[in-house]
Chain A
């Protein structure tokens, strides 16, 4: 038994509190092109998480000091809505949102062909409307679909997924209780076609075997989410739905 005191996160039959198996993901739905004013947009629901991403640009980078002569910069703004959690969040940037904005921008820069747009800026806005653990992963997935919807050239899309450890058991896709009272959390950004990792963070401790199992779960989930992402773009354009 690990984690916080005697909080039980696994049932006696080995299933999780919400009935999922250890390698089972929360349900995911994705919709592309939901905001007419943005160049590209997407809404992702992942369990109880709801994230909306919008992409604007490429546009001239301002202020000029952020311009790069040989490539575009990706300006990400991740924000949780005040009503996204049970406790009201004070509106505006905080340390956490700055950190997530930065890691998301760096992950997206690794896939977007930024050298096509020197001196310019691609603005990505991620708004978390409802939060239930794993919002940075949901935000990255939404941003990736929005970038594809905007026609921004990328060498692959990024899927955000997380695994973790509860009660000494590696599980896929932590929910709120598991995130709060579990032993470890391993969110990653995976390029589903190449299998590369665009970002990886780890909170807590995992042995090498546990890490390998967690990454195996993450890669499996990334493939599933990628299919949903592609399907969302197909529905938007092949289905004729505007």
Chain B
């Protein structure tokens, strides 16, 4: 969480920094305990919530988790499956049995080819980081129109806001359909001016997200009319 997010002074911690005694507190993400002390393992802003101390990292890689909604692109096609780029360390695998269509063996390319963008969900991640995706579910589909913008993974929560409030505000401001994937990819569809506006807002998040709250960015962007973006 950036300084601007809460208005309160947040503490920036670096790997190895001793945060304080671990007694009576739980170690959240980015924290390890050693010799009754809490130690930061990542560069980020320290956060304490419900007696749990954790770090909001400034930079982070996407680590897929079961149930994540992701915007994926087809990287490779085989007879009975697709390899999808999910913006992570490893490609995701989409078998034809988990595609929304009836796919004949050898005809996978007729449904989706390299470069196509889809909205999918992470079905399973094993301990070796093998990722299986599914497109069976409400709203999961091939995205035939619109554009995809990337933002740092750690800013996804900020872009959404509480109960998707900020995302909804952005949708209304640019009059576009917007889907935010957990993997740092955002799909935007609407008229050209609206898309340009939304892309500019997301680029500002990517550049200034560590020092400015998304609400502040949105307020600044709302001063700009769609056509000027």
Contact = CB atoms under 8 A, between A and B. Distances in A.
A110 B228 CA distance: 51
> By DSSP majority rule, is chain B's interface helix, strand, loop, or mixed?
loop
Contact of A240 (B42, B60, B211): B211
Contacts of A179: none
A60 B127 contact: no
A148 B128 contact: no
Contacts of B16: 111, 154-157, 191-194
Contacts of B42: 148, 151-154
A58 B39 CA distance: 22
B41 A233 contact: no
A57 B32 contact: no
Contacts, number: 92
B90 A120 contact: yes
Interface in B1-43: 3, 12, 14-18, 30, 32, 34, 39, 41-43
B169 to A, nearest CB: 24
Contacts of B15: 111, 147-148, 153-157
B91 interface: yes
B127 A233 contact: no
A60 B59 contact: no
B131 to A, nearest CB: 11
A155 B63 CA distance: 19
Q: Which secondary structure dominates chain A's binding surface?
A: loop
- Chain B's interface size range is 20 to 34
Given A120-B89, A155-B41, A242 B59 contact: no
25 contacts: A39-B61, A57-B61, A111-B15, A119-B90, A119-B129, A120-B89, A151-B42, A151-B44, A151-B154, A153-B30, A153-B41, A153-B42, A154-B15, A154-B41, A155-B16, A155-B34, A191-B16, A193-B17, A193-B18, A233-B14, A234-B12, A237-B12, A240-B211, A242-B207, A242-B208
Interface of A: 39-40, 57-60, 69, 111, 113, 116-120, 147-157, 191-194, 229-230, 233-234, 237-238, 240, 242
